[in-house]
Amino acid sequence: MLYFDHAATTPLDSRVRTAMLEALDAGPGNPSATHGAGRAARERIEAARADVARLIGAPPSSIVFTSGATEADNLAILGVGRARPGAELVTLRTEHRAVLDACRRLEREGHRLTLLTPDRHGRIDPAAVGAALSAATTLVSVMLVNNETGVLQDIPAIAAQCRRHDTLLHVDAAQAAGRVPLDVAQLDADLVSLSAHKIHGPVGVGALYVRREPRPLLQPLMVGGGQEGGLRPGTLPVHQIVGMGAAFRLAHAAGAAEAAALACLRDRLWAALADLPGSHLNGHPTERAPHILNVSFEGVDGEALLAGLDGLIVASGAACGAESGEPSYVLRALGRDDALAQASLRFSLGRGQGAQDVDAAAVRVRAAVLRLRALAPS
State the Cα–Cα distance between residues 65 and 52, nearest whole angstrom.
10
Instruction: Yes or no: say if 217 and 170 are a contact pair by the CB < 8 Å rule.
Output: no
Confidence tier at 378 by pLDDT (50, 70, 90): low
Evaluate if residue 320 carries a pLDDT over 90.
Answer: no
Q: pLDDT digit string (tens) for 275-305?
A: 999 999 999 999 999 999 999 999 998 889 9
Domains of the chain: 2-8+255-375 (3.90.1150.10), 14-250 (3.40.640.10)
How much is the pLDDT for 322? 53
How much is the pLDDT for 156? 98
Please list the residues that pair with 116 across neighbouring strands.
92
Evaluate if residue 215 carries a pLDDT over 60.
Answer: yes
State the Cα–Cα distance between residues 334 and 317, nearest whole angstrom.
13
Is the entire prediction scored with pTM above 0.85?
yes
Q: pLDDT digit string (tens) for 52-78?
A: 999 999 999 999 999 999 999 999 999
Write the burial class of residue 263 (CB in 10 Å: 0-12 exposed, 13-18 middle, 19+ buried).
middle
Instruction: List, by residue number, the catalytic residues.
Output: 320
Beta-carbon count within 10 A of 259 CB: 18
Sequential DSSP letters for 340-361: HHHTEEEEE--TT--HHHHHHH
Q: What does pLDDT average to over the chain? A: 95
Confidence tier at 327 by pLDDT (50, 70, 90): confident
Task: Tell me which DSSP letter residue 4 carries.
Answer: -
Nearest by Cα to 203 from 313, 319, 99: 319
Q: pLDDT digit string (tens) for 130-172?
A: 999 999 999 999 999 999 999 999 999 999 999 999 999 999 9
